[in-house]
Amino acid sequence: DDKLVGMQESLDEAYLEYIKKEFLAKLAYYNKIAGTLEKRDALLRETLSREEMDRYYNRAFVNFDIVQDFLPLNAENEYDSSFIKYLKAEYLEGERMRVLLEMYENDYVKNPVLEKTIYLSDRDPEGTKIEWRNEARPCILLDFFQAEEDCYDTFDIIYEFYVNLVAYNRLEE
């Protein structure tokens, strides 16, 4: 049994080394595209009205159905993205990943902004304490911000959506 435990510890060390290298590669890629993403985000925010932005996000969510399942259901039992003003996911120095969600007034939460930072290390994630509205139904996207776990898989999906927002929006064209 000691041999097996030793082997597992060796595997764990190798995996940790792999994860750190993978993170550094993702961070380098993000840093390479961050300027373009900032320009894209500014252009979208400056040129689209609230209604146009809502349609833009909605079309992108429909075309990336994995992330569509992250959304809350409205009173008509349809996926609702109308509360999203801005969604951003990024890799940061210090082995950190962050998601920022700016929202319009909505039926789900009172907070205008939710933010969560997760770490590659054993450090606990940091996030906004959500102020739920009375009738709010939980959903993966909003739950992500209050979860005490790191939720790396959820971050990866949100990041994919954020980086490729325009591509997912254009799939119907």
* Residue 173 confidence (pLDDT) above 60: no
Mean pLDDT lowest among 17-21, 78-82, 95-99, 145-149? 145-149
Q: Residue 98 sits in a domain of what CATH number?
A: 3.30.1120.90
Q: Which tokens go with 96?
A: 């950190």
> pLDDT tens digit string along 1-48?
899 999 999 999 999 999 999 999 999 999 999 999 999 999 999 999
pTM over 0.75: yes
Name residue 64's amino acid.
Answer: F
Q: Which tokens go with 169?
A: 């929006």
Q: How many domains does the chain have?
A: 1
CB atoms within 10 A of CB 118: 23
Average pLDDT rounded to a whole number, residues 73-80: 87
- Say how far apart CA 71 and CA 94 lie, in whole Å: 30
The model's confidence at residue 68, banded by pLDDT at 50, 70 and 90, is confident
Q: Is 113 helix (H, G, I), strand (E, B) or coil?
A: strand
Query: Torsion angle of alpha carbons 111, 46, 166, 107, nearest 10°?
Result: 20
> pLDDT tens digit string along 133-170?
877 667 999 999 988 887 999 999 999 999 999 999 99
Query: Using an 8 Å Cβ cutoff, are 60 and 165 in contact?
Result: yes
Domain range enclosing 70? 2-170
